[in-house]
């Protein structure tokens, strides 16, 4: 093979071109929509094999389901919204911060408990503001609420949701557990970032660690080439463990392809000293360049290692199930249920209720909503009780939320923003 580097460039760019050609204009391959306007529910589905029972990841929309579960338990006297939660938490969630003893379930439901706005790489148990003092959207807070639900009910989150929500509403395709979903599509830039960042960092650090003692000993015990190969293998192992067990396992196959392709080029060039040393850097540079210049989405796998069920982001459901859920929420909203009463003011247009966002518009009235964002999935549901309408949009794309809003506004005849400042 006379010019393996040129061949590799050609192969990588050919794959990128094929990826670009295979993507639709808006990069949203599958859509399941629910429309309700004072009459029968209307379902509209786009994509191969998609229907009203197709299962999607709904991410943070599960917070509303968990809130509904907690509120039903409160109605039955199992929970008290204003009781301090510390006695009912798992021990590993407790900290020495005395403010932990001031937090109530109501504060968790409306994001005023003071926890971190994110839920990444474990639970951040720090309290960043005094409980009840201000709004800060928090997935961590809902992990604490889940602990209260499970310990007070004696059931897992999914068992409690099944008892109080899924079974009563006949939601047959909904769960917080692992379930088969439609194929997710992620932005190529996100796939490259998530899959390669830790690998590149580990490779650089390990190579530096190997180079310094090697230079001191003049590589007496191992040549730099062998040391670099060992670093490459070890960095791959580190990244594999990180992706599969701690981060986004959906992008592992992409990483594996890039890793093996780069390793193949290094193997081909093993006898060409200068090219061997630059081949890995060159290949990684090409992968990064393609990832951050091609504005496309690519298919990834579902989670290879199922995430532990939690109400922050593992909720999965279908269009039909969400129609049943939203129909019940509409009844509660019209009846003045406490869930829909503003608990904390975010700004002039937005409040937060007990597990649901509230948007006010001087011209159009009030809508209640929640969105969900997971890697490869974005969703939105909006309730408009003033006009007896609601919309649910489920997509398998990182670009689905903007499209969902575009589809929702004309149907509801409501110029909504449906977004809030997270902290």
Question: If you write DSSP's letter for every residue of 260-295 in order, what string do you get?
Answer: HHHHHHHHHTTTSHHHHHHHHHHHHHHHHHHHHH--
pLDDT of residue 415: 94
Kindly state the tokens that stand for 148. 């209260």
**Is the pLDDT reported for residue 95 higher than 70?**
yes
Beta pairing class for 315-318 and 55-59: antiparallel
Q: Does 2 score more than 70 pLDDT?
A: no
pLDDT at 322: 99
CB 31 within 8 A of CB 394: yes
In this prediction, residue 13 has a pLDDT band, given cuts at 50, 70 and 90, of low
Please say if the pLDDT value at position 177 is more than 60.
yes
Query: Given this model, what pLDDT does residue 1 score?
Result: 47
pLDDT per position as a tens digit, 314-363: 999 999 999 999 999 999 999 999 999 999 999 999 999 999 999 999 99
Among 181, 127, 116, 145, residue whose Cα is nearest residue 314 = 181
Tell me which range, 173-182, 209-218, 226-235, is most confidently predicted by mean pLDDT: 173-182
Where does the pLDDT of residue 148 fall: very low under 50, low under 70, confident under 90, or very high at 90 and above? Answer: very high
DSSP-derived secondary structure letter, 248: -
The answer to whether 147 and 88 are in contact (CB under 8 A) is yes
Residue with token string 């981060």: 247
pLDDT at 268: 83
Question: Residue 423's pLDDT band (boundaries 50, 70, 90)?
Answer: low
Q: Which helix (H) or strand (E) holds 365?
A: strand 365-374
pLDDT for 26: 52
Would you list the domain boundaries of the chain?
31-181+306-412, 185-299
Find the Cα–Cα–Cα–Cα dihedral 350, 353, 356, 357, rounded to 10°: 0
Confidence category of residue 225, pLDDT binned at 50, 70, 90: confident
Q: Is the pLDDT of residue 157 over 70?
A: yes
**Spatial distance between the Cα atoms of 118 and 374, rounded to a whole number of angstroms:** 13
Determine the pLDDT at residue 17: 60
Residues 6+ apart with CB under 8 A from 138: 111, 113, 115, 116, 117, 119
Share of the chain above pLDDT 90, in %: 74
Question: Of residues 107 and 289, which shows the higher confidence score?
Answer: 107
Among 182, 155, 183, 152, CA closest to 167: 155
Taking only the tens place, the pLDDT of each residue in 380-410 is 999 999 999 999 999 999 999 999 999 999 9
183 Cβ contact list (under 8 Å, min separation 6): 29, 30, 299, 300, 301, 302, 396
User: What are the tokens at 305?
Assistant: 């290692």
Band of pLDDT at residue 220, cut at 50, 70 and 90: low
Q: Are 86 and 101 in contact (CB under 8 A)?
A: yes
Average pLDDT across the chain, whole number: 91
Q: What pLDDT is recorded for position 25? A: 47
Q: Which residue has the higher pLDDT, 400 or 423?
A: 400
Q: Could you give the CA distance from residue 183 to residue 411 in angstroms, rounded to a whole number? A: 27
- Comparing 7 with 174, the larger pLDDT belongs to 174
Q: What value does the mean pLDDT take over residues 59-76?
A: 98
Tokens representing 356 are 């649901």
Of 3.40.710.10, 1.20.1250.20, 3.40.640.10, 3.40.50.1970, the CATH number of 31-181+306-412 is 3.40.710.10
Helix or strand or coil: residue 133? coil
Instruction: Write 199-203 long-range contacts (CB < 8 A, 24+).
Output: 199/235, 199/236, 199/238, 199/239, 199/255, 199/259, 200/284, 202/234, 202/235, 202/238, 202/239, 203/231, 203/232, 203/235, 203/280
Give me the pLDDT at residue 243, please.
96
| The predicted structure's pLDDT at residue 281 | 85
- The residue-averaged pLDDT of 265-275 equals 81
């Amino acid at each position: 093979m006379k010019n393996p580097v040129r061949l590799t460039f050609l192969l990588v760019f050919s794959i990128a071109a094929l990826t670009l050609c295979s993507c639709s204009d808006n990069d949203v391959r599958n859509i399941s929509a629910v429309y309700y306007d004072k009459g029968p529910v209307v379902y509209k589905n786009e994509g191969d094999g998609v229907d009203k029972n197709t299962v999607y990841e709904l991410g943070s929309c599960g917070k509303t389901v968990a809130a509904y579960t907690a509120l039903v338990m409160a109605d039955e006297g199992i929970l008290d919204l204003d009781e301090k939660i510390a006695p009912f938490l798992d021990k590993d969630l407790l900290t020495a911060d005395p403010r932990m003893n001031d937090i109530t379930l109501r504060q968790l439901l409306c994001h005023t408990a003071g926890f971190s706005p994110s839920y990444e790489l474990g639970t951040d148990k720090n309290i960043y503001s005094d409980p009840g003092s201000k709004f800060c959207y928090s997935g961590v807070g809902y992990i604490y609420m889940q602990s209260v639900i499970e310990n007070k009910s004696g059931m897992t989150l999914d068992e409690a949701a099944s008892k109080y929500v899924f079974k009563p509403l006949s939601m047959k395709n909904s769960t917080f557990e692992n379930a088969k979903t439609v194929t997710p599509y992620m932005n190529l830039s996100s796939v490259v970032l998530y899959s390669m960042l830790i690998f590149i960092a580990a490779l650089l650090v390990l190579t530096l660690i190997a180079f310094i003692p090697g230079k001191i000993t003049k590589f007496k015990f191992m040549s730099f080439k062998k040391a670099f190969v060992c670093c490459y293998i070890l960095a791959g192992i580190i990244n594999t463990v990180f992706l599969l067990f701690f981060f986004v396992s959906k992008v592992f196959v992409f990483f594996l392809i890039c890793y093996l392709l780069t390793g193949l080029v290094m193997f081909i060039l093993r006898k060409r000293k200068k090219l061997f040393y630059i081949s890995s850097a060159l290949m990684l540079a090409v992968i990064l360049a393609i990832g951050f210049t091609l504005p496309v989405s690519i298919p990834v796998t579902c989670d290879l290692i199922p995430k532990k069920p939690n109400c922050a982001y593992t909720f999965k459901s279908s269009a039909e199930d969400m129609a049943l859920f939203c129909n019940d929420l509409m009844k509660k909203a019209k009846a003045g249920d406490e869930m829909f009463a503003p608990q904390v003011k975010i700004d002039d247009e937005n409040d937060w209720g007990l597990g649901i966002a509230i948007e006010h518009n001087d011209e159009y009235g009030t809508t209640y909503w929640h969105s969900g964002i997971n890697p490869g999935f974005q969703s939105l549901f909006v309730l408009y009780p003033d006009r007896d309408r609601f919309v649910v949009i489920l997509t398998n794309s990182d670009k689905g939320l903007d499209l969902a809003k575009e589809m929702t506004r004309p149907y509801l005849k409501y110029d909504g923003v449906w977004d809030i400042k997270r902290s």
